Structure 1
Amino acid sequence: MNPDPPRLPLYRDTVRPEWIDYNGHMSEAFYVLVFGFATDTVMELIGVDADYRKSTGCSMYTVESHVRYLRDVPEGARLAVRTRVLGAVGKKAWFTHEMYVGTEPAPDADPVATIELLLLHVDQNAGRATPFPEPILDTLDSLTEQPPSWTGRSVGAP
Protein backbone atom coordinates (compact mmCIF):
# COMPACT_ATOMS: atom_id res chain seq x y z
CA MET A 1 0.00 0.00 0.00
CA ASN A 2 1.28 3.40 -0.97
CA PRO A 3 1.74 5.44 2.27
CA ASP A 4 0.57 8.64 0.53
CA PRO A 5 -1.36 7.55 -2.58
CA PRO A 6 -2.63 10.07 -5.11
CA ARG A 7 -6.30 10.83 -4.67
CA LEU A 8 -8.57 9.90 -7.52
CA PRO A 9 -10.49 12.82 -9.04
CA LEU A 10 -14.01 13.37 -7.81
CA TYR A 11 -16.87 12.16 -9.98
CA ARG A 12 -19.52 14.88 -10.28
CA ASP A 13 -23.19 14.79 -11.26
CA THR A 14 -26.48 16.61 -10.60
CA VAL A 15 -29.70 15.05 -9.31
CA ARG A 16 -32.15 14.95 -12.22
CA PRO A 17 -35.94 15.35 -11.83
CA GLU A 18 -36.54 11.74 -12.95
CA TRP A 19 -34.38 10.52 -10.05
CA ILE A 20 -36.85 11.88 -7.47
CA ASP A 21 -39.19 9.39 -5.83
CA TYR A 22 -42.64 9.64 -4.22
CA ASN A 23 -41.01 10.85 -0.98
CA GLY A 24 -39.60 13.92 -2.72
CA HIS A 25 -35.93 12.97 -2.70
CA MET A 26 -33.48 10.90 -4.74
CA SER A 27 -34.64 7.30 -5.06
CA GLU A 28 -32.33 4.57 -3.78
CA ALA A 29 -31.71 3.14 -7.26
CA PHE A 30 -30.20 6.42 -8.41
CA TYR A 31 -27.67 6.56 -5.59
CA VAL A 32 -26.41 3.23 -6.96
CA LEU A 33 -26.52 4.59 -10.53
CA VAL A 34 -24.29 7.53 -9.56
CA PHE A 35 -21.92 5.16 -7.73
CA GLY A 36 -21.85 3.01 -10.90
CA PHE A 37 -20.87 6.05 -12.96
CA ALA A 38 -18.07 6.72 -10.45
CA THR A 39 -16.86 3.12 -10.84
CA ASP A 40 -16.89 3.52 -14.63
CA THR A 41 -14.71 6.61 -14.26
CA VAL A 42 -12.18 4.69 -12.15
CA MET A 43 -12.15 1.86 -14.69
CA GLU A 44 -11.20 4.38 -17.38
CA LEU A 45 -8.44 5.85 -15.21
CA ILE A 46 -6.83 2.49 -14.41
CA GLY A 47 -6.86 1.27 -18.01
CA VAL A 48 -9.98 -0.89 -18.11
CA ASP A 49 -11.39 1.45 -20.74
CA ALA A 50 -13.38 0.81 -23.93
CA ASP A 51 -10.26 -0.04 -25.96
CA TYR A 52 -9.07 -2.50 -23.31
CA ARG A 53 -12.50 -4.14 -23.07
CA LYS A 54 -12.73 -4.45 -26.86
CA SER A 55 -9.18 -5.78 -27.37
CA THR A 56 -9.13 -8.23 -24.45
CA GLY A 57 -12.77 -9.19 -23.96
CA CYS A 58 -12.23 -8.45 -20.27
CA SER A 59 -14.10 -6.07 -18.00
CA MET A 60 -14.85 -5.53 -14.33
CA TYR A 61 -18.05 -6.76 -12.71
CA THR A 62 -19.40 -5.68 -9.34
CA VAL A 63 -20.18 -8.88 -7.46
CA GLU A 64 -20.94 -7.54 -4.00
CA SER A 65 -21.84 -4.17 -2.53
CA HIS A 66 -22.98 -2.60 0.70
CA VAL A 67 -24.79 0.74 0.39
CA ARG A 68 -25.49 3.11 3.26
CA TYR A 69 -28.14 5.81 2.66
CA LEU A 70 -27.33 8.48 5.22
CA ARG A 71 -29.23 11.64 4.18
CA ASP A 72 -31.97 12.64 1.74
CA VAL A 73 -30.79 14.32 -1.46
CA PRO A 74 -33.13 16.81 -3.20
CA GLU A 75 -33.69 17.42 -6.89
CA GLY A 76 -31.04 19.64 -8.45
CA ALA A 77 -28.41 18.89 -5.81
CA ARG A 78 -24.86 18.89 -7.11
CA LEU A 79 -23.06 15.67 -6.17
CA ALA A 80 -19.39 14.88 -5.71
CA VAL A 81 -18.25 11.27 -5.26
CA ARG A 82 -14.90 10.45 -3.68
CA THR A 83 -13.48 7.05 -4.58
CA ARG A 84 -10.89 5.05 -2.69
CA VAL A 85 -9.17 1.92 -3.93
CA LEU A 86 -8.82 -0.34 -0.90
CA GLY A 87 -6.77 -3.02 -2.63
CA ALA A 88 -6.47 -5.45 -5.48
CA VAL A 89 -5.06 -8.95 -5.71
CA GLY A 90 -5.31 -11.51 -8.49
CA LYS A 91 -8.74 -11.05 -10.05
CA LYS A 92 -10.34 -9.03 -7.22
CA ALA A 93 -10.48 -5.31 -6.43
CA TRP A 94 -12.11 -3.43 -3.55
CA PHE A 95 -13.38 0.16 -3.86
CA THR A 96 -15.41 2.56 -1.77
CA HIS A 97 -17.36 5.60 -2.90
CA GLU A 98 -18.55 8.43 -0.65
CA MET A 99 -21.25 10.74 -2.03
CA TYR A 100 -21.40 14.39 -0.94
CA VAL A 101 -23.73 17.25 -1.77
CA GLY A 102 -21.73 20.12 -3.23
CA THR A 103 -19.08 20.51 -5.87
CA GLU A 104 -16.10 20.35 -3.52
CA PRO A 105 -16.80 18.67 -0.18
CA ALA A 106 -15.14 20.20 2.86
CA PRO A 107 -12.58 17.94 4.58
CA ASP A 108 -14.94 17.51 7.54
CA ALA A 109 -18.13 17.05 5.45
CA ASP A 110 -20.34 14.06 6.13
CA PRO A 111 -21.30 11.91 3.14
CA VAL A 112 -24.95 11.53 2.17
CA ALA A 113 -24.34 7.93 1.08
CA THR A 114 -21.51 5.40 0.86
CA ILE A 115 -20.89 2.13 -0.93
CA GLU A 116 -18.29 -0.59 -0.46
CA LEU A 117 -17.67 -2.76 -3.52
CA LEU A 118 -16.01 -6.04 -4.45
CA LEU A 119 -15.24 -6.20 -8.16
CA LEU A 120 -13.94 -9.05 -10.31
CA HIS A 121 -11.89 -8.85 -13.50
CA VAL A 122 -13.86 -11.05 -15.90
CA ASP A 123 -12.94 -12.58 -19.24
CA GLN A 124 -16.30 -12.24 -20.96
CA ASN A 125 -15.35 -14.67 -23.74
CA ALA A 126 -14.45 -17.43 -21.28
CA GLY A 127 -17.30 -16.54 -18.92
CA ARG A 128 -15.12 -16.52 -15.81
CA ALA A 129 -12.96 -14.32 -13.63
CA THR A 130 -9.32 -13.96 -14.59
CA PRO A 131 -6.36 -12.18 -12.96
CA PHE A 132 -5.76 -8.52 -13.75
CA PRO A 133 -2.75 -7.84 -15.99
CA GLU A 134 0.28 -6.65 -13.98
CA PRO A 135 0.15 -3.05 -15.24
CA ILE A 136 -3.43 -2.67 -14.01
CA LEU A 137 -2.59 -4.32 -10.67
CA ASP A 138 0.39 -1.96 -10.34
CA THR A 139 -1.88 1.04 -11.00
CA LEU A 140 -4.45 -0.18 -8.47
CA ASP A 141 -1.68 -0.79 -5.93
CA SER A 142 -0.34 2.75 -6.42
CA LEU A 143 -3.83 4.12 -5.66
CA THR A 144 -4.56 1.93 -2.62
CA GLU A 145 -5.57 3.81 0.53
CA GLN A 146 -6.48 2.90 4.07
CA PRO A 147 -10.18 1.97 4.31
CA PRO A 148 -12.56 4.42 5.96
CA SER A 149 -13.84 3.41 9.39
CA TRP A 150 -17.29 2.50 8.05
CA THR A 151 -16.09 -0.38 5.82
CA GLY A 152 -16.35 -4.08 6.62
CA ARG A 153 -19.83 -3.93 8.11
CA SER A 154 -22.74 -6.15 7.22
CA VAL A 155 -26.49 -6.06 7.51
CA GLY A 156 -27.55 -8.37 10.29
CA ALA A 157 -30.86 -9.59 11.56
CA PRO A 158 -31.86 -8.47 15.06
Structure 2
Amino acid sequence: MPRHAQLSAYHDVVRAEWVDYNGHLRDAFYMLIFSFAVDALIDEIGLDDSVRKARGRSIYTLEAHIHYLQEIKQGAQVRVEMRALAHDAKRIHLYLEMFADDGDQPVAAGEQMLLHVDTSGPRSAAFDSDVQTRVRSLVDRQAALPVAEYAGRVIALPAQARNHART
Protein backbone atom coordinates (compact mmCIF):
# COMPACT_ATOMS: atom_id res chain seq x y z
CA MET A 1 0.00 0.00 0.00
CA PRO A 2 1.44 3.40 -0.85
CA ARG A 3 2.36 5.13 2.40
CA HIS A 4 0.79 8.49 1.50
CA ALA A 5 -2.71 7.03 1.43
CA GLN A 6 -2.70 4.49 4.24
CA LEU A 7 -3.70 4.88 7.83
CA SER A 8 -1.08 4.97 10.51
CA ALA A 9 0.73 1.68 10.80
CA TYR A 10 0.64 -0.38 13.99
CA HIS A 11 3.92 -1.96 15.17
CA ASP A 12 4.52 -4.90 17.52
CA VAL A 13 6.87 -7.84 18.13
CA VAL A 14 5.93 -11.54 18.04
CA ARG A 15 6.12 -12.53 21.70
CA ALA A 16 7.13 -15.95 23.07
CA GLU A 17 3.65 -16.60 24.46
CA TRP A 18 2.16 -16.11 20.96
CA VAL A 19 4.21 -18.90 19.36
CA ASP A 20 2.90 -22.44 18.80
CA TYR A 21 4.51 -25.89 18.95
CA ASN A 22 5.89 -25.37 15.40
CA GLY A 23 7.72 -22.22 16.44
CA HIS A 24 5.32 -20.02 14.42
CA LEU A 25 2.93 -17.27 15.38
CA ARG A 26 -0.35 -18.98 16.39
CA ASP A 27 -3.26 -18.27 14.07
CA ALA A 28 -5.29 -16.55 16.81
CA PHE A 29 -2.51 -14.05 17.44
CA TYR A 30 -2.61 -12.76 13.88
CA MET A 31 -6.14 -11.64 14.79
CA LEU A 32 -4.92 -10.19 18.08
CA ILE A 33 -2.32 -8.10 16.25
CA PHE A 34 -4.95 -6.96 13.73
CA SER A 35 -7.23 -6.12 16.68
CA PHE A 36 -4.51 -3.95 18.25
CA ALA A 37 -4.18 -2.18 14.88
CA VAL A 38 -7.93 -1.51 14.85
CA ASP A 39 -7.56 0.07 18.30
CA ALA A 40 -5.11 2.52 16.72
CA LEU A 41 -7.63 3.22 13.94
CA ILE A 42 -10.35 3.90 16.50
CA ASP A 43 -8.13 6.55 18.09
CA GLU A 44 -7.28 8.00 14.66
CA ILE A 45 -10.94 8.55 13.76
CA GLY A 46 -11.53 10.45 17.00
CA LEU A 47 -12.88 7.71 19.27
CA ASP A 48 -10.06 7.52 21.78
CA ASP A 49 -10.76 6.23 25.29
CA SER A 50 -11.89 9.56 26.74
CA VAL A 51 -14.30 10.22 23.83
CA ARG A 52 -15.70 6.67 23.99
CA LYS A 53 -16.39 7.08 27.70
CA ALA A 54 -17.80 10.62 27.41
CA ARG A 55 -20.10 9.82 24.48
CA GLY A 56 -20.95 6.22 25.33
CA ARG A 57 -19.74 5.11 21.89
CA SER A 58 -17.46 2.36 20.67
CA ILE A 59 -16.55 0.20 17.69
CA TYR A 60 -17.48 -3.49 17.52
CA THR A 61 -16.20 -5.99 14.99
CA LEU A 62 -19.05 -7.62 13.04
CA GLU A 63 -16.99 -9.89 10.80
CA ALA A 64 -13.34 -10.72 10.23
CA HIS A 65 -11.43 -12.71 7.60
CA ILE A 66 -7.73 -13.56 7.73
CA HIS A 67 -5.48 -14.85 4.98
CA TYR A 68 -2.37 -16.53 6.40
CA LEU A 69 0.22 -15.96 3.71
CA GLN A 70 3.54 -16.73 5.35
CA GLU A 71 4.69 -18.04 8.72
CA ILE A 72 6.47 -15.73 11.11
CA LYS A 73 8.48 -16.59 14.19
CA GLN A 74 9.13 -15.31 17.67
CA GLY A 75 10.93 -11.98 17.77
CA ALA A 76 9.77 -10.84 14.33
CA GLN A 77 9.00 -7.14 14.15
CA VAL A 78 5.52 -6.80 12.69
CA ARG A 79 3.84 -3.84 11.06
CA VAL A 80 0.16 -3.63 10.17
CA GLU A 81 -0.91 -1.19 7.49
CA MET A 82 -4.60 -0.40 7.23
CA ARG A 83 -6.85 0.87 4.52
CA ALA A 84 -10.49 1.91 4.81
CA LEU A 85 -12.18 0.45 1.71
CA ALA A 86 -15.68 1.81 2.29
CA HIS A 87 -18.02 3.21 4.90
CA ASP A 88 -21.63 4.09 5.52
CA ALA A 89 -23.34 5.94 8.37
CA LYS A 90 -22.48 3.21 10.92
CA ARG A 91 -19.84 0.90 9.46
CA ILE A 92 -16.29 0.80 8.13
CA HIS A 93 -14.98 -1.90 5.79
CA LEU A 94 -11.32 -2.14 6.75
CA TYR A 95 -8.47 -3.94 4.97
CA LEU A 96 -5.27 -4.78 6.84
CA GLU A 97 -1.92 -6.19 5.77
CA MET A 98 0.73 -7.49 8.18
CA PHE A 99 4.42 -7.33 7.31
CA ALA A 100 7.36 -8.95 9.13
CA ASP A 101 10.62 -7.21 9.84
CA ASP A 102 11.44 -4.95 6.87
CA GLY A 103 9.62 -7.13 4.34
CA ASP A 104 7.56 -5.59 1.59
CA GLN A 105 5.32 -8.64 1.01
CA PRO A 106 2.48 -9.24 3.47
CA VAL A 107 2.64 -12.24 5.79
CA ALA A 108 -1.10 -11.95 6.41
CA ALA A 109 -4.03 -9.95 5.12
CA GLY A 110 -7.32 -9.33 6.80
CA GLU A 111 -10.64 -7.64 6.38
CA GLN A 112 -12.97 -6.46 9.07
CA MET A 113 -16.42 -4.95 9.11
CA LEU A 114 -16.57 -2.53 12.01
CA LEU A 115 -19.77 -1.16 13.54
CA HIS A 116 -20.20 2.08 15.47
CA VAL A 117 -22.17 1.34 18.64
CA ASP A 118 -24.05 3.28 21.29
CA THR A 119 -22.85 1.34 24.33
CA SER A 120 -25.93 2.17 26.44
CA GLY A 121 -27.91 -0.39 24.40
CA PRO A 122 -25.72 -1.69 23.04
CA ARG A 123 -27.10 -0.88 19.61
CA SER A 124 -25.74 0.40 16.35
CA ALA A 125 -25.59 4.14 15.94
CA ALA A 126 -24.62 6.57 13.21
CA PHE A 127 -21.16 8.05 13.59
CA ASP A 128 -21.11 11.43 15.29
CA SER A 129 -20.47 14.12 12.68
CA ASP A 130 -16.82 14.74 13.63
CA VAL A 131 -16.04 11.01 13.46
CA GLN A 132 -17.98 10.60 10.20
CA THR A 133 -15.92 13.43 8.68
CA ARG A 134 -12.66 11.66 9.63
CA VAL A 135 -13.91 8.31 8.31
CA ARG A 136 -15.02 9.89 5.01
CA SER A 137 -11.65 11.60 4.70
CA LEU A 138 -9.80 8.29 5.17
CA VAL A 139 -11.86 6.53 2.51
CA ASP A 140 -11.58 9.47 0.11
CA ARG A 141 -7.77 9.66 0.52
CA GLN A 142 -7.48 6.01 -0.42
CA ALA A 143 -10.09 5.77 -3.16
CA ALA A 144 -7.59 5.87 -6.04
CA LEU A 145 -5.39 3.07 -4.68
CA PRO A 146 -5.26 -0.22 -6.58
CA VAL A 147 -7.68 -2.93 -5.52
CA ALA A 148 -6.70 -4.57 -2.22
CA GLU A 149 -5.28 -7.95 -3.28
CA TYR A 150 -7.00 -10.17 -0.70
CA ALA A 151 -10.22 -8.20 -0.18
CA GLY A 152 -13.60 -9.78 -0.82
CA ARG A 153 -12.50 -13.40 -0.93
CA VAL A 154 -14.69 -16.15 0.45
CA ILE A 155 -13.89 -19.57 1.84
CA ALA A 156 -14.92 -22.32 -0.56
CA LEU A 157 -13.56 -25.35 -2.31
CA PRO A 158 -13.55 -25.18 -6.10
CA ALA A 159 -16.77 -26.60 -7.57
CA GLN A 160 -14.91 -29.62 -8.97
CA ALA A 161 -13.61 -30.57 -5.51
CA ARG A 162 -17.07 -30.13 -3.93
CA ASN A 163 -18.64 -32.34 -6.59
CA HIS A 164 -15.91 -34.96 -6.24
CA ALA A 165 -16.47 -35.14 -2.46
CA ARG A 166 -20.11 -36.17 -3.00
CA THR A 167 -19.25 -39.29 -4.97
Which residue is equivalent to 2:127?
A: 132
1:117 paired residue number: 112
Q: Distance in 2 between matches of 1:7 and 1:148?
A: 12
Residue pair 2:110, 2:150 contacting (<8 A) in 1 also: no
For the Cα contact (< 8 Å) 1:88–1:137, is it kept in 2?
A: no
Q: Does 2:33 align with 1:34?
A: yes
Identity of aligned residues (%): 37
Letter paired with 1:150: Y
Aligned equivalents of 1:35, 1:44: Cα separation in 2: 15
Partner in structure 1 of residue 149 of structure 2: 149
The CA distance in 2 between the partners of 1:16 and 1:150, in whole Å, is 26
Q: Deviations over 1:109-133 (max 9, x none)?
A: 2100011000100111022101101
Write the distance in 1 (CA, Å) between the matches of 2:53 and 2:97.
30
Q: Is the 8 A contact 1:87 1:140 kept in 2?
A: no
Aligned twin of 2:73: 74
1-structure distance, mates of 2:79, 2:98? 6
- Report the CA distance between 1:153 and its aligned residue: 1.0
Per the TM alignment, residue 149 of structure 1 is displaced from its structure 2 partner at its CA by 2.8
Residue 82 (structure 1) shift: 0.4
Segments of 5+ residues of structure 2 without an aligned counterpart are 163-167
Output the CA distance in 2 between the equivalents of 1:126 and 1:27. 34
Aligned to 1:97: 96
5+ long unaligned stretches in structure 1: none
Query: Secondary structure of the equivalent of 1:51?
Result: helix
Matched residue, 2:11: 12
Aligned pair count?
151
Question: What is the TM-score of this pair, normalised by structure 1?
Answer: 0.90
State how 1:48-87 maps to structure 2 within 5 Å: 48-87=47-86
Q: Which amino acid aligns with 2:154?
A: S
| Backbone CA RMSD of aligned residues | 1.6
Structure 1 contact 71–112 (Cα < 8 Å) conserved = yes
Q: Which has the larger radius of gyration?
A: 2
Taking structure 2 as the reference length, the TM-score comes to 0.85
Runs of 4+ in structure 1 displaced over 3 angstroms? none
SS in 2 for 1:80: strand
